[in-house]
């Protein structure tokens, strides 16, 4: 008795190739869709954003075009750094929670016995 529907190795290889091609096609379409969405978002945001003029001295200033796009990039970069910093503190927080649980359990056991 066979557990597989197709015992022929050629048929199994053919089925695997079909699954591989379907997965590659799905990933390629998803990548194309994500890139088109990103491009349209950046174009719309660039056209809606104005110019920020930063004046350093009386005679020296520079303009930042597409300021909303740069603001989004800076915001996402800072948010990513913040999330990575919080991720670094997670094991320490878990250790402190376990330590507090041990202290509470010892106090509870002491109250029950005393």
* Residue the block writes with tokens 């010892």: 106
Is pTM beyond 0.85? Reply is no
pLDDT at 23: 96
Mean pLDDT computed over every residue of the chain: 85
For residue 42, count other CB atoms closer than 10 A to its CB: 15
Task: Tell the burial category of 80 from Cβ atoms under 10 Å away from its Cβ (0-12, 13-18, 19+).
Answer: exposed
pLDDT tens digits along 32-43: 999 999 999 999
Give mean pLDDT, residues 39-56.
92
pLDDT at 89: 65
């Amino acid at each position: 008795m066979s557990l597989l529907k197709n015992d022929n190795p050629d048929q199994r290889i053919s089925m695997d190739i079909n699954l591989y091609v379907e997965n590659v096609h799905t990933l390629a379409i998803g990548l194309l869709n994500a890139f088109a969405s990103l491009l349209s978002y950046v174009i719309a945001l660039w056209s809606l954003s104005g110019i920020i003029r930063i004046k350093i001295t009386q005679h020296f200033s520079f303009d930042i075009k597409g300021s909303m796009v740069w603001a989004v990039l800076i915001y996402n970069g800072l948010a990513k750094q913040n999330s990575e910093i919080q991720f670094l503190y997670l094991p320490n927080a878990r250790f402190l929670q376990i330590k507090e649980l041990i202290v509470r359990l010892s106090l509870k056991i002491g109250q029950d016995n005393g």
